Amino acid sequence: MVFCKKAFLTIGTVHFAEVVAFYQCLLEQQPHPYAPVHYAEFHLPGMALAIFSPHSDHVQEFSCSDPSGFSLCLEVADLTTAIANIAEFHPSILKNSIIDASHGREIYLYDPAGNRLILHESC
C-alpha cells in the first residue's frame, strides 16, 4: 500500500479516562500526544494505539459494548510475568484461563470499554 504511512488502531469510548489509565498501566508509557478528555496516543512497535472521546453527536454509537471480531494482540516474552504485572491494576485477568494453542500460550482480557486484548507468548 503506497498510500499507507502509519497504522493506527483507534478506540472510541465514552469511558475515556478509565480506558487511557488502563493502557497507561498496561503499556507502561504515557500517551503522546495527549489531549485530556479528547485524545491519547500510545506508540507500539509498528503501529499506534489511539484512544478518543467521541463527539457528542456520536456518543450513542460508542456507548454500545457489544463484542467485536477485533482484538488487540500483544506479544509478550513471558506470559506468566505479564499476567502478574497486569493483575496489580486489573485483577480480573486472574479469572481467565491460559489457553495452550498450536502457536503458543495466550490469555484474553478486556479493557474498561469491553475491547478484547490477547496476550500471546510464542512457543
Q: How far apart are CA 107 and CA 34, in angstroms?
A: 29
Task: Give the fold, CATH level 3, of 8-57+70-122.
Answer: 2,3-Dihydroxybiphenyl 1,2-Dioxygenase; domain 1 (3.10.180)
Can you give 11-46 as a three-state secondary structure string? Answer: EECCCHHHHHHHHHHHHCCCCCCEECCCEEEEEECC
The pLDDT tens digits for 72-108 are 999 999 999 999 999 999 999 999 999 999 999 999 9
pTM for the full model?
0.86
113, three cell numbers: 470499554
Q: How far apart are CA 114 and CA 116, in angstroms?
A: 6
Give domain limits for the chain: 8-57+70-122
Mapped onto helix, strand or coil, the DSSP state of residue 9 is strand
Mean pLDDT of 1-6: 74
